[in-house]
Amino acid sequence: LVDQLPANATRFEVLASKPANGAITAIWAGWLVSGVFSLVATGAVATAILSSARARSSLFTLPLAILLSCDCIMNFNNVIVNMANLSFGGYTSYACCVWQCFYTVWTGGVTFGVNMIITVEVYRLLSATKRLQMYQPPAKPIVLRRCLGVVLVVTALAALVFIPGVPFKPRLMRGIMCLPASDGTFNGRSELFVYFVLPCVVGVPTVVTLTIGAVSWYRRLLVFEIDRQEMTLSEKESSQALHNRAAHRERVQAARSLTIYFSRVFFCLLMWYPAFLSLLIAIEPVAPFAIGMLLISWQSFVSSMLALTKADVRQAALHRFRLCIPGARSQSQVAPSAAIPSDPGKQLAMFTTK
C-alpha cells in the first residue's frame, strides 16, 4: 500500500504500490462515468461527420472523424475494463492487462500522429493565406493514406506486447491500470517502451506540433488584418480589386475559423501530459496519476465539443439530431430550407472549412 512505503522508496516501489481498496473502487467508478460521457459525445460527433458527405469531403474534418473514432474505441474499452474491474472487485486478469496495454498505446499513438498531420496542413493553409496565395489541399486519398500509415505504424508498435520474448510486457501501475512498462522480469523496466515506443508515438509528433505552433506564433500566422489598409482604386481597376478583396476576406474568415481548430490540437494534446508526468516523476499519492488518466478520457469529450466550432461539423451534427428526434425532424420538414448552391464544391475549392 502507498501508506506503507518507506521514506526512501524507489521509483519502482512507488509505481508498484497501490492505494486502499476503497480509493481504487472510487477511481474506477470515476473513470467509468467519464468514459460513458466521452463515448456518447465522441460517438455522436463521429457518426454525424461520417454520415455527412459534405463534412467528409473537408480536408480538416475527415482526419477529425478518424480521431474521434479512435477516441470512441478507447472510451469503449475503458468502460468495459473498468466495469469488469468493479464487478470483479479487483483487476480482472492478465489477459485484460495485456489488452489494456495494447489499446492505450494504440490510441495515444494514433491521436498524436493524426494530430501532427492536421497541424502540418493547417500550417500550410495559414501560411498561404498570410502570403495571399492559393492553398492547394492534398487530395482525399492522400490524406487517407497518411492517416492509414500512422495507424499501421502505431498498430505494429502496440502489438509488440503480444509477441513472446519481446521486453515489452504489461505491468499493473499503482494497482489501477496496466501499461507496457515491464521487460518481463519482476522489477525490470522495459527499455524498449521508454526509449523507442514512447519517443515514436509521443515524442516525434509532440516536437513537430510544438515547433509548428512556435513558428506560427513567431510569424503571426494566426493574426489577420482585413480593413486596416485602404486601397486607392482607379475606375478601371475598381471592379477586379474589389473582387480580389472580397475573395481575400472570405479566405481570412475561413482561416480565422481554423485558428480555433488549430488551438484544439494543442489543448487536447496537453491533456495527455499530466498522466505521463505523474509516471515519470513517480509521485507517491495516486491522485495525480488518477486525475491524469481521467483527463485523457475527458480530452476526447473536449475534442468533440470543440469540433462543433467548425461549421460543417456543426451542421452535420444538427442534421443528425433532427433525424434522431421525431419532434425536431417534423419541425425541420415544415421550416423552409435554405437555398443550396448548384455547385457547392466550388465554395470548397480553396478552403474546406465551411
Residue 205 lies in a domain: yes
Residue 56 lies in a domain: yes
Cell of 288: 495525480
CATH number at residue 261: 1.20.1070.10
Residue 9 lies in a domain: no
Integer Cα distance of 299 and 301 in angstroms: 5
220, 221, 222, 228 alpha-carbon torsion, rounded to 10°: 70
Please tell me the predicted confidence (pLDDT) of residue 84: 94
Residue 26 lies in a domain: yes
Mean pLDDT, residues 282-288: 77
Please tell me the predicted confidence (pLDDT) of residue 228: 42
Integer Cα distance of 273 and 276 in angstroms: 5
Integer Cα distance of 147 and 245 in angstroms: 36
Residue 106 lies in a domain: yes
Contact 180, 90 (CB under 8 A): no
Residues 16-36: pLDDT tens digits? Answer: 778 888 889 999 999 999 999
SS3 220: coil
Integer Cα distance of 263 and 272 in angstroms: 15
Mean pLDDT, residues 67-82: 93
Query: What Cα–Cα distance (Å) separates residue 96 from each residue in 80, 214, 268, 293?
Result: 10, 40, 27, 18
Segments forming the whole domain that contains residue 282: 18-224+240-320
Residue 133 lies in a domain: yes
Please tell me the predicted confidence (pLDDT) of residue 154: 96
Integer Cα distance of 224 and 98 in angstroms: 49
- pLDDT exceeds cutoff 60 at 170: yes
Residues 234-271: pLDDT tens digits? Answer: 444 455 555 555 565 666 666 666 666 667 667 778 88
Mean pLDDT, residues 203-216: 89
Residue 91 lies in a domain: yes
DSSP 136: -
The mean of the pLDDT values for the chain is 79
Please tell me the predicted confidence (pLDDT) of residue 140: 85
177, HSE (Cβ side, Cα atoms, 13 Å): 23
- pTM equals 0.79
Mean pLDDT, residues 65-74: 91
Number of domains in the chain: 1
The residues, ordered by sequence, that sit 6+ positions from 202 with a Cβ below 8 Å of its Cβ are 108, 109, 112, 272, 276
**CA dihedral (66, 68, 74, 76) positive or negative:** negative
Mean pLDDT, residues 331-353: 40
Query: What Cα–Cα distance (Å) separates residue 136 from each residue in 57, 140, 341?
Result: 14, 12, 22
Residue 310 lies in a domain: yes
